[in-house]
Structure 1
Amino acid sequence: MQGQWIGEINGEYAGTLRVEVEKIGDEVSGNAYLFYDKSHQLPGFRFPLSFSAIPPYITETQTIYLFTEGGVMSQEDRNRVEAALTARFGKLPIPAKLNVELVLEEENLRVKWYSDDHEEEALTLQHFDIKAASDLKPRADLTTWDQFRQWAVSQRPRHFIFRGQSEPHKLATTFHRTWRKDLNGWIVDDVRKLFGVMAERLSFPLQLGNMEHNAAFWNILQHHGYPTPLLDWTLSPFVAAYFAFCNIIPGDARTPRIYIFDADAWNAKYGKILFFADVAPPQIVVLESMPAGNPRAMPQQSVSTVSNVADIEGFIRRREEEDGRSYLTVCDLAAEEAPKIMRELELMGITYGSVFPGLDGICRDMKDRLFAQQP
């Protein structure tokens, strides 16, 4: 058993339950996260999970209190909140210890929980397939390069962020595309180990625990191939076009895609908040981290989104339905336009060497120039 499952809690106190577990050896471990809607003025909770890899998946877990928008409470904060909850409900709505059972029902997950003085409750959580093709339909007004270029230069800078892909795969972070799903384990274990072996090679003295420094270090990991909960975007529609077409040739069966995300509208609704990737409600946060130790960030006009949901497109779609507006659209262009697009991008100064500065970039630029197929 391994994966991420999310379910909505309906009724008087609505909220979201998220389970993230992964199998390592003979053990399945991970965490469950419970967050109520902000209007209820209730804390969030994390429940560490550890099971034998052989079912039934039953365990006892401790309750860890979280702030409504994310982050672990101190013992002092927890004592204060528990006193307020007891006064409000007559007892704690979530006990300090819970018995939990996970039951796989095809792709979905049935979660049951109870304690000595609480009745059993259960909820079915949904598993989202991020390996499937994207459900997004391409914009009808941006079907050619000329249309896209004209539209792009008419937009206000920094209003949208863009992402180019050679194929219309679903949006998902490099972390969520692996078998790993326990973000808390990634942060506590992976990041600390990586920082330990990389710190002396960093040109800027980053410190884990500082939010700005965490974001910068995660971006360094992302840009050097380590799986992270970040998704790369750019402020430039033309840099996005480069990444969509840099490996495309005429006649290619793939359909290059440019994602267009209305970051201004998203931030206006959901705010540019500090990110807690694991101990937070399901979220996507637009992140402009400082480029320390990452020479590629500035040339690529790099922006990231950090997310604790595997199915980013599905999450945005649900928010669009709730808010009655569009945040994410896509532009699909024909592979046959690749030579024209790449020629124009080179005239703009967007080449492999410009977006990947260094010896690799120089050699790739010269290869593209001197080994180009002759007409």
Structure 2
Amino acid sequence: MRSQACVFENGNNRCIYVLQFRTTDKRTSQQLWLPIQFQRISDTTEVTQAELNQAFPNVNFPDRANIVLKLTNKGLRVTANTYQGTQQIGVIRALLRSGSADKRSKIAADKKVRTWDKFKLMVGRLPPDRYIFRGQPVCNRLRTSFHRTSRRDLNQFLSIDIPQLHAIVTSKTNHYFDLRDNIQNAAFWNLLQHHGYPTPLIAPNGLKISSSYILSLT
């Protein structure tokens, strides 16, 4: 089973800690020694050790970790001991619980709201900018088309899907999307979603800015 673990550090808006690993079997207990990679939050490109030392000259960053995974009834218990060479830097412990995105929504639909006018009246009474509405025929939780697929790997989406799609799409359009520009990158994703390709974008209804898009992180 191939997996990727990411750790976001408080106060560090430049990079994340990334561990990639593959288990050889389905045992409920696993122990792995893994190299630690650092990636930029903005575009998931790798941050080198030299760049880290320049940005944080007095900080020791780990280069590997000993990961212990144990599947229990409450969830997946994770213990990560981080090292720089042979020196232990720190330890991280977490309990990862199974998500509820596949379950039915806890919010009950108002069966009296059957027309567009009644819907607008209901929405107008709610606090502004707190709710997102998305039309769908079933009472499922709010999820993107990307997260409903079996291949919901953001790392592969960014490193494989987007470059391949960019090469194909730009050969058929008059406009060249510069993916290094955040606005053009978002426009390219928007174009993909508009034509039915699963993306981690949600197009919300009921907001003041009808063309706004939200990146779903769940």
- Fold match, TM over 0.5? yes
Q: Cα RMSD (Å) of the superposition? A: 3.5
- The aligned residue for residue 36 of structure 1 is 9
The answer for unaligned runs of 5 or more in structure 2 is none
CA distance in structure 1 between the partners assigned to 2:166 and 2:44 by the alignment: 21
Which deviations, in whole Å up to 9, do the C-alpha atoms of 1:305-357 show, x marking residues without a partner?
A: 11221xxxxxxxxxxxxxxxxxxxxxxxxxxxxxxxxxxxxxxxxxxxxxxxx
Q: 1:207 to 1:49 in 2, by over 3 A?
A: same
> Following superposition of structure 1 onto structure 2, how do residues 225-236 of structure 1 map, counting pairs within 5 Å?
225-234=196-205
Which residue does 1:166 correspond to in 2? 137
Contact 2:33-2:66 at 8 Å conserved across structures: yes
Structure 2 counterpart of 1:130: 101
Asked if 2 retains the 8 angstrom alpha-carbon contact of 1:29 and 1:50, the reply is yes
Partner of 2:87: 117
Aligned residue type for 1:82: F
Is this contact kept in 2: 1:66–1:72, CA < 8 A? yes
CA distance in 2, matches of 1:132, 1:181: 17
Q: Which consecutive aligned stretches of 4+ in structure 1 deviate over 4 angstroms post-superposition?
A: 41-44, 69-77, 151-155, 157-161
Over residues 177-205 of structure 1, what are the superposed CA-to-partner deviations in whole Å (9 max), with x where a residue is unaligned?
A: 12223311210011111112221112321
**Alignment correspondent of 1:294:** none
When normalised by structure 2's length, the TM-score is 0.75
Write the letter of the residue equivalent to 2:142. L
Matches within 5 A, 1:343-354: none
Q: Which residue type is aligned with residue 181 of structure 1?
A: R
State the distance in 2 between where 1:207 and 1:105 align: 46
Give secondary structure in 1 for the equivalent of 2:203: strand
Native 8 Å contact 1:60 1:98 kept in 2: yes
Percent identical pairs in the alignment equals 25
1:142-198 CA deviation, whole Å, 9 max, x = no partner? 74535334456789x999764211121111111211222331121001111111222
SS in 2 for 1:189: helix
What is the count of residue pairs matched by the alignment? Answer: 208
Alignment of 1:349-364 (within 5 A): none
If you compute each CA radius of gyration, which structure gives the higher value, 1 or 2? 1
Q: Deviations over 1:201-241 (max 9, x none)?
A: 1232112222112111111221222221111223xx5xxxx
Of 217, 221, 225, the residue aligned with 2:192 is 221
What is the deviation of 1:74? 4.9
Conserved? CA contact 2:38–2:47, under 8 Å: no
**1:203 equivalent in alignment to 2:112:** no
Return the alpha-carbon distance in structure 1 between the equivalents of residues 168 and 14 of structure 2.
36
Distance 1:121 1:212, change over 3 A: closer
| Counterpart among 10, 15, 23 of residue 52 in structure 1 | 23
The whole-number CA distance in structure 1 between the counterparts of 2:74 and 2:165 is: 33
Relative to its length, the structure with more helix (as a share) is 1
CA deviations 1:27-72 (Å, max 9, x no partner) are x142x2222344xx686522131223425362412241656x8866
Contact 2:33–2:64 under 8 Å retained in 1:
no
Distance 1:99 1:181, change over 3 A: farther
